[in-house]
Amino acid sequence: MWAQRLVAPCRFAEVEVPRPLAGDLADGEVLLRVLAGGICGSDLPAFRGAPSPHLRVTTPDGPGPAGFPMHEVLGEVLASTDPDLAVGQRVVGWASRFDAIAGYTITLGADVAPYDPALAPEDAIMLQPLACVLYAVDQLVPVLGCRVAVLGLGPIGLLFTHVLAEYGASHVTGVDTVDRRDVADRFGIDDAVHADTGRWVEHLAEADRADVVVEAIGHNVATLGHAIGAARPGGRIHYFGVPDDPVYPFALREFFRRNLTLVSGITRDRRRMLGEAGRYLRAHPDLPAAYVTHVLDAHDAQRAFELAARPAPGRLKVVLRHGS
């Protein structure tokens, strides 16, 4: 089968590799013919050449195995050892091996779920990040009447602002070094701040601090401190951005004296959350058109990742579409 392989930092090459077969499945796994994949911010450090905590194997001819790094996947089930998933179903969710830039992939059945077939694959792929956001917000409820701040207004951050606004937040602030005022109204943002989060926090008045803060940037140590600085006494923080370092120092004394709460973690109960995401999308059917801004052929992964790695106004979710 064809696959894209990282042969150097920021450089893909298309290769031919053995196709996974039904006989390769362990209990609870499914074989998918990949139809679409979404580029997540957590894929980009690996694209740039950083070590990935998701990479279980090394290869002699590049930074990663064929199909890596991509975990947002949508595909057709070709073989299944999961009793709840049948051959021929179309499903969306996680590629457990982070290798979905390929014609076929094997993934855990519990990590995917059927979706509304009326959705185009390039739209339905957003159910995976939406499921992650809904799971995270569940850790923060109630947010009714709360002032909230979301640090980072990439595709994930904008899903957070949309969901938090829908859940009844009284005021939503979003902060990013990319100017997102063009989509602020569409994603429930009352105050779109075009600034570095650290500088924003330095000049933040006490009255403007948030009851709920979401860190949706990740991949650096400093932004956890910015989230703490943005929170009101008694506030709640969800550190959603992926940590690249095993240890993050932060201002514990400030955290302690402000009586803050910090939550974090990966998405659990994935099939249920994908179902919740489907229900949310049915209630907001115009959301994919605002969220997915670039759809490229999967054979053009190089350009797609280059676009995703350089955030810009008007550029949100970048999706790879395979042949249907």
* Beta-bridge mates of residue 175: 151, 193
Amino acid letter, residue 242 = V
For residues 55 and 68, the answer to whether their CB atoms sit within 8 Å is yes
For CATH 3.40.50.720, list the domain ranges present in the chain.
130-264
Where do the CATH 3.90.180.10 domains begin and end in the chain? 2-114+288-321
Q: What 8-state DSSP symbol labels residue 39?
A: -
CA 6 to chain centre: 20
Q: What is the mean pLDDT of the chain?
A: 94
What is the pTM assigned to this prediction? 0.95
Task: Fill in the amino acid letter for 266.
Answer: I
CB 259 within 8 A of CB 233: yes
pLDDT per position as a tens digit, 115-162: 999 999 999 999 999 999 999 999 999 999 999 999 999 999 999 999
Give average pLDDT by consecutive 10-residue segment, the chain, 324 residues.
94 95 97 98 92 59 81 98 98 97 98 96 98 97 97 98 98 98 97 97 95 96 96 97 90 95 96 98 97 96 97 96 74
Q: 2-114+288-321, what's its fold? A: Quinone Oxidoreductase; Chain A, domain 1 (3.90.180)
Distances (CA, A) of 240 to 137, 149, 216, 283: 10, 13, 5, 24
Reported as a single tens digit per residue, the pLDDT across 208-248 is 999 999 999 999 999 999 999 999 999 999 999 999 889 99
- CATH superfamily for 130-264 is NAD(P)-binding Rossmann-like Domain (3.40.50.720)
